[in-house]
Amino acid sequence: MRTMESCRVWAPATVANLNAGFDSLGCALAAPGEFMEFKRVAEPGIHLVNGPGTHLPLDVDANVAGKAAASLLRALGDPFGVEITVTKSILPGSGIGSSAASAVAAVVGVDALTEAGMRRDELLPFALDGEEVASGARHADNVAPALLGGMTLIDPSGKVCALPVPSSWHMVILHPQVVIKTAESRAVLPAQVPLSDAVHQAAWLGRLVHDLHAGNELEAMYALEDLLVGPHRAALMPHWAECQTAARAAGARAGGISGSGPSSFWVCRNAEEASDVAASLAHVMNAHALDHHLHLTQLSTQGAHVVS
């Protein structure tokens, strides 16, 4: 068989938490996504190159993709060196899984070049080595859906459970061009919550999982309630009350903060509603002269994969 000398990998953006499942729920998006290039080289180890418009540290241990790739390559016996060209399209700090996309693209690319044929669940720990560089923790709520695709639930033991993908959901992602640091976003969360809120939140998560398995995709939208996290992070989100009012008036059935922000997600029944919601959110941003990106998309059933 012919040896693979180079490859290109696509990885999706993701939405974590999805209101009902803080640090446990996540989904992969069909767009935006980004590409990463891999090439065999003679010199051992991982060698990083920044693509156009990308300015990331080239120290392997300080780079999400570099750390994940090096971890996997080392476990496979360092059979050869790998040059990785990282081009960021999912902007760091966007709240839609930028670091997760880098981590999973890295391990998928190294697995492909080495022809190791590892399962996705086997690649997950190596991707988490990279994610830890960015967040300081091994949270899989972005990494798991970026690697497996679809919607995933991570239980307290770290096991990843794939959930049915609601194919009828149309998503609007609003990314205001501001920075909300993850540490700041976590700092506003209370150490304790009322028992009644915890009970109700658990019930909404259970309702969501049930409706997804039952094929009740519209009902599942209404289970995307956030009683524990969103109310405390709302003050960090730019013009949040206006965005909520505008999006729901335009037809959004659910919405919330993506990850730790500043991006938000809005769930609609069809493409027409999504277009109206996007226009209403753009109106709010423009009224405040706030630069922003909007993405109209759906859930991706496929995670990071080799495209050439």
In the chain, domain spans: 6-163+301-306, 170-297
What pLDDT sits at residue 182? 78
Tell whether the torsion through CA atoms of 23, 26, 32 and 34 is positive or negative.
positive
Higher pLDDT, residue 184 or 291: 291
Q: Which of 187, 97, 181, 190 is nearest to 144 (CA)?
A: 97
**DSSP conformation class of 303:** -
Which architecture does CATH list for 6-163+301-306? 2-Layer Sandwich (3.30)
| Mean of per-residue pLDDT scores for the chain | 96
Q: Which of 89, 124, 86 is nearest to 108 (CA)?
A: 124
Q: How large is the average pLDDT for residues 126-141?
A: 92
pLDDT of residue 1 exceeding 80, the answer is no
Q: Which helix (H) or strand (E) covers residue 204, if one does?
A: helix 195-214
From start to end of 42-102, where are the E strands? 46-50, 81-86
Query: Can you say whether residue 49 is alpha, beta or left, with left for phi > 0 and alpha for psi between -120 and 50 degrees?
Result: beta
- pLDDT band per the 50, 70, 90 thresholds, residue 179: confident
DSSP SS3 for 64? helix
DSSP SS3 for 255? strand
Class of the CATH domain delimited by 170-297: alpha beta
Percent of the chain whose pLDDT exceeds 90: 93
> Do the beta carbons of residue 243 and residue 290 sit within 8 Å?
no
